[in-house]
Structure 1
């Protein structure tokens, strides 16, 4: 349980140390599972991996369900709420307490992501100053809670997380979120304010998602692996799909929002109107076909009358009124365009 002083420090600085959360046995078990998933020794179709290229952060490859070749040079293993060894860590009671404090005890809690972040030995990708939130996350509200647990010692030498204390109180510096602009980096991230958050293996951090942070490469001969999970108000939806995210705790009203219900009502009315218009159009097509058939019958009948008259008086020119008989009959049935 966190003390009021810890919560006060969190409000002031945007992070707090949570102390030891995993023992040595659990650390060994979880690091081995992460490596096994990345190498393909352990296969789970619900989990994805991202290769670490050691290059430009913006040029990183997409996460995939299986790396082309088993390797320990991975940057990310995500979807760990679907792994039997990591799932209990996702449900850690302390994390639930934190979410209840920040989102309210009434609010259900959902999970945006649970993953291993790795900086392979002698490599690792430089992660520039950024904030976790904004439009790039495609959520209808910003999450506030990220838990970070070291599975290897996190040090300055192997690319530990660095933060700008108190920067969460600036709010999101960009509606888009993610990487800061060059101007914001110069304004808010002076070198003397950057604080490295070194951690022993098994120890954890609570980070506010708006806290400006970064991490370097890992030139050491040991990997720097860490478990990280982002928790949200359970009512959060994807703006791309309208769906909720995996629920961790609490009850969630699955009924759609009132505006979504109204959209469904409007859509049903539009569909009914479309079906009615389509039915009327089909009836017009059928009526035109009927009239054309009738017209063909009249044409045949008129031609037979004309032929009969021609046979009776071959030398007598038909009177104008008789020559116009077909036209008058046809016009009566289907008005001709002029």
Structure 2
């Protein structure tokens, strides 16, 4: 594991870590992601609380052939011992732990499944769009299971946009998308990464990903952590499991 540059993270709002997972482990995790994707597609009624569908986020002109394609599964750690173990792996947790200066607890986990033709994620800040009922002491660790560049929808960020903890206004009529007029276009930085690389980022950082315009998938497993002193503050995110009626 490489040294964590906390000063750079505090300055830019994000930090890159190369090859946190080797190619063999990435391949196993990619197969596990497809297992979960197949399970939740096949039993979509039982797993409906975890599923976002692509057609609900695509313009009508982009919906052809996308019926029944999953955009996101959340959470997944209770469905997959493999992804639950990864959430505790020091290769993943060390960046967040060093940034906080203490051990961490898992706050959120999800699979983003930007398959070919997959929808964009508009400009947003995670805290203001998703987590206001909780804490803003959060670090998200976004681990790619496929190579990601601008053609298949890699993350794009505005470095330093987290400083001062701003909360930008939402787009008119929206409930989470930041008004595009506040995004400084000349400061946007695409962050292409390889499978097994990770970007850790602040909950106030402005970020976005475009439509997947390629023939290649862009899957990622995403973990968000809070300081351990806050405890397990988001355990209620787990919907009941179909087999037991309980988590």
Instruction: Indicate conservation of the 8 Å contact 2:6/2:98, yes or no.
Output: no
Q: 1:101 aligns with which of 98, 102, 118?
A: 98
Q: Distance in 1 between matches of 2:219 and 2:7?
A: 29
Q: Distance in 1 between matches of 2:90 and 2:22?
A: 16
Q: 1:184 aligns with which of 167, 174, 182?
A: 182
Tell me what 2:63 maps to.
none
Q: Structure 1: which 5+ runs fail to align?
A: 58-69, 238-242, 247-338
Tell me what 2:158 maps to.
164
Instruction: Indicate conservation of the 8 Å contact 1:50/1:75, yes or no.
Output: yes
Please report how far the alpha carbon of residue 111 of structure 1 lies from its aligned counterpart in structure 2 after TM superposition: 2.0
Instruction: Indicate conservation of the 8 Å contact 1:150/1:203, yes or no.
Output: yes
Closer, same or farther: CA 178–54 of 1 in aligned 2, 3 Å: closer
Residue 50 of structure 2 corresponds to residue 48 of structure 1: yes
Residue 114 of structure 2 corresponds to residue 119 of structure 1: yes
Tell me what 1:173 maps to.
167
Which structure is higher in RCO with an 8 Å CA cutoff and minimum separation 6?
Answer: 2
Question: How do 1:128-277 and structure 2 match up within 5 A?
Answer: 128-134=122-128, 136-174=130-168, 178-185=176-183, 189-190=184-185, 192-234=186-228, 236=230, 244-246=233-235
Q: Distance in 2 between matches of 1:235 and 1:94?
A: 21
The one-character-per-residue Cα deviations of 1:118-173 (angstroms, maximum 9, x if unpaired) are: 1111x111111111103742433214300011101001111110001111114132
Task: Specify the SS of the correspondent of 1:80.
Answer: coil
Please report how far the alpha carbon of residue 200 of structure 1 lies from its aligned counterpart in structure 2 after TM superposition: 0.7
Instruction: Indicate conservation of the 8 Å contact 1:157/1:218, yes or no.
Output: yes
Tell which deviates more after alignment, 170-179 or 217-226: 170-179
Please report how far the alpha carbon of residue 100 of structure 1 lies from its aligned counterpart in structure 2 after TM superposition: 3.1
Please report how far the alpha carbon of residue 109 of structure 1 lies from its aligned counterpart in structure 2 after TM superposition: 2.9
The count of aligned residue pairs is: 221
Q: Distance in 1 between matches of 2:19 and 2:8?
A: 18
Task: Specify the SS of the correspondent of 1:165.
Answer: coil
Tell me what 1:30 maps to.
29
Please report how far the alpha carbon of residue 2 of structure 1 lies from its aligned counterpart in structure 2 after TM superposition: 4.9
Closer, same or farther: CA 175–99 of 1 in aligned 2, 3 Å: farther
Task: Specify the SS of the correspondent of 2:208.
Answer: strand
The one-character-per-residue Cα deviations of 1:63-102 (angstroms, maximum 9, x if unpaired) are: xxxxxxx95x211122222211111210121443333333
The structure in which a higher percent of residues are helix is 1
Based on CA coordinates, which of the two structures has the bigger radius of gyration? Answer: 1
Q: Distance in 1 between matches of 2:74 and 2:135?
A: 22
